[in-house]
Amino acid sequence: MEFLLGPPFMVGVAVVVGLGLIYARRTYQRCPHCGRLVRRVAQGWLRCGFCGRQYRRGLRLR
């Protein structure tokens, strides 16, 4: 049981969490109108599923 709580395990967990945060930052963004998490736009415009308004990648209204 001590092995599961040792430093190598904690470092592994920290690396996995860090990679997950990097992936989420590249994949999602906040809707500039309502502030909810939405899919990041690669090209053009998308519509927010919550407020129904369109947004693009670089739009920052909030």
Give Cα 7 distance to the centre of its chain: 27
Residue 10 has pLDDT above 70, yes or no: yes
Q: Look up residue 18 and give its two tokens.
A: 């860090």
- Kindly list the domain boundaries of the chain, sorted by start residue: 29-62
Are 33 and 55 within 8 A, CB to CB? yes
pLDDT of residue 62: 58
The model's confidence at residue 21, banded by pLDDT at 50, 70 and 90, is: very high
pLDDT over 90 for what percent of the chain? Answer: 61
Please state the pTM of the whole predicted model.
Answer: 0.67
